[in-house]
Structure 1
């Protein structure tokens, strides 16, 4: 029996792994890719379809964080407030409630001057929350679904790399044919489907691998930490609240410290797009504020922590602090989400993310049709009985 060359045997092994892993993960990759398409422009669509009233800017003081907290608790008494978001002075104030178990995620919109409740939004209901649930955990129980999505994403990364190995022609003359669709009127559908799978897969892989990488950073904390420390990061590769200074005393003044902080930061950051205040969960926790500079982009935000009595600033031991003080490893991790959804490139970046996700969704379909045509349909034709001709 003639032995196969090692290179041929290795390529056949890759082919078999590509086939069966594709069949196992194909449906998951399709769902995650399609929901990724739908999520790309969710911020723009939500703004366009918003039913919130237009508010005229007035020469009046806005509702302060401590007041916003009290007004929102009248709507949801006893519930945990994640934070209060201030945007432009003629935008509603958003008080965001969030609890993990059982999950509770609601936003109360307040009139910035009167404190009137303008709208209550259940962030777990509606089209885009449904899309996000599918993207993150396939509408399954969260723990199970997240693992299925995470490991299917790992498999998809292997599929892209192994696809290029299988596609790459041995001879240079053959490469020109494989870089484009060389279709004629006589080209059969089976050949067109093969080209759609291989040529699209080749081109999409270069950008899709970035989307996959950023997805894995979010899916696996250990992977994100490995990337961060591998780039030379020295801080804690996680998110956690800073603690108050010991024996700190409250600042003198009529205002609550968090309200005074609002005025201080408005003065310090007149160019800020938004300020999000997070109330201390316990007396030992610091006040945490996110200062955003761009609408829909989060990587360059400043994360500031303040003693909840003295308002003395507390440095964060994690990679989340002032953006101008962040090193290269910190910036890479902080850009991760914005790269994943394409927001890092503005509208053109989101358009690119949309089409890359759409093309990724096509690969399991064309791959399945290839397998079906070569295996299932072929078997049916072979097993079809030959009827004797009768006059």
Structure 2
């Protein structure tokens, strides 16, 4: 057991020293992402980047799109229409998102902020050209370019290893006192190491869960395979009308989804593209952004507005619920202000933990050399 403890201690220390700064970078960018909607409000104005909820139906998609193109010119490669804070950018108002080329070259995401009740556009910008997008960019890229996804996977696994090895080393301490659960301070290497351990023990469980969900978001194919093992609702609807006819408008697909799931509102509305043969629509109960069993899903075929798939929230199985809530759990949206505060604090601790550990090691090494 003693040899195992030494090996785990070496693994915990040196993996932290080698990759600790990347872990800290992931933590601080995740913390900033909690404030991203606020950053957009600072950059463009709170009245533009937010909206007042009213007891009336949203305008149909054709109104949104026609008004946007009348004001800003032709908009091509439209990805979809999104409710407030349902995009990775966490913009606080409903938006139209489309793929575009940036003026300086490269791919970008065009954003049109819309008043959902009148369909009038309020703002238009390329997300990658804004200052507010940097936390999202940093969290997803980690300065690694094409190697970002493998890097995020490695860092997610590393945080899980830190949690497990840290708990093991804590339990192997010769004596655990109540005072060990208090922050010892940072005035000497031993106190810094004890504070490092205390912070890790306090939050090892939520840190582990956030690392798992981060890994699952980085590799959604693995998440889908795991969800299938847990069980997912079929939800396929037999089509009665398969003959070819005119491609429906977005309005008809929107109406078909609302008719299929009365009492719900649309949160994400994806238009046909190379990835989607038809309209893919996610819905939640009116006035409730986080239903107890995840979102409903509706798919409408591009021909004749035929309903090909309907999965109400009540039919969701464990796998569907896991996928519905994975992103919302990871960014703290499930718990409202409490959840976002917890994610903010966790991000700061993920930022501080490796820095404190590295500082304690460097300080201790320097003292040994002096002696």
- Verify same fold: TM over 0.5: yes
**d(CA) in 2 for partners of 1:121, 1:297:** 28
**d(CA) in 1 for partners of 2:234, 2:172:** 45
Aligned-pair CA distance for 1:127:
3.6
Deviations 1:62-112 (A, max 9, x none): 75323433444453536200113467xxx9863221359942211123456
Name 1:156's counterpart in structure 2: 159
Q: How does 1:1-391 map to 2 (within 5 A)?
A: 7-43=1-37, 46=40, 49-52=45-48, 64-73=60-69, 75=72, 77=74, 79-85=76-82, 94-98=95-99, 102-110=106-114, 116-141=120-145, 143-169=146-172, 171=174, 174-177=175-178, 179-181=180-182, 189-233=188-232, 246-250=242-246, 257-263=249-255, 265=257, 271-281=263-273, 285-293=277-285, 297=290, 300-315=294-309, 321-379=311-369, 381-382=370-371
Determine helix, strand or coil for the equivalent of 2:203: helix
Aligned-pair CA distance for 1:209:
0.4
- Unmatched runs of 5 consecutive residues or more in structure 2: 85-91
Deviations 1:130-180 (A, max 9, x none): 011111121332x21232222122112112211122222455xx2125642
Residues paired across the two proteins, number = 353
- Unmatched runs of 5 consecutive residues or more in structure 1: 1-6, 237-242, 383-391
**d(CA) in 1 for partners of 2:49, 2:364:** 58
**d(CA) in 1 for partners of 2:184, 2:366:** 26
Q: Is the 8 A contact 1:291 1:301 kept in 2?
A: yes
Moved more, 286-295 or 198-207: 286-295
Q: Is the 8 A contact 2:97 2:112 kept in 1?
A: yes
Deviations 1:203-234 (A, max 9, x none): 11111101111111111235313532442458
Determine helix, strand or coil for the equivalent of 1:291: strand
Aligned-pair CA distance for 1:346:
1.4
Deviations 1:247-276 (A, max 9, x none): 24459xxxx543234445556667445454
Deviations 1:266-314 (A, max 9, x none): 56667445454333237x9222222244676587322211133322211
**d(CA) in 2 for partners of 1:218, 1:9:** 36
Q: Is the 8 A contact 2:183 2:199 kept in 1?
A: no
**d(CA) in 2 for partners of 1:269, 1:233:** 19
**d(CA) in 1 for partners of 2:10, 2:117:** 65
TM-score by length of 1: 0.76
Aligned-pair CA distance for 1:28:
0.8
**d(CA) in 2 for partners of 1:56, 1:154:** 41
Determine helix, strand or coil for the equivalent of 2:280: strand
Determine helix, strand or coil for the equivalent of 2:99: strand
**d(CA) in 2 for partners of 1:214, 1:179:** 30
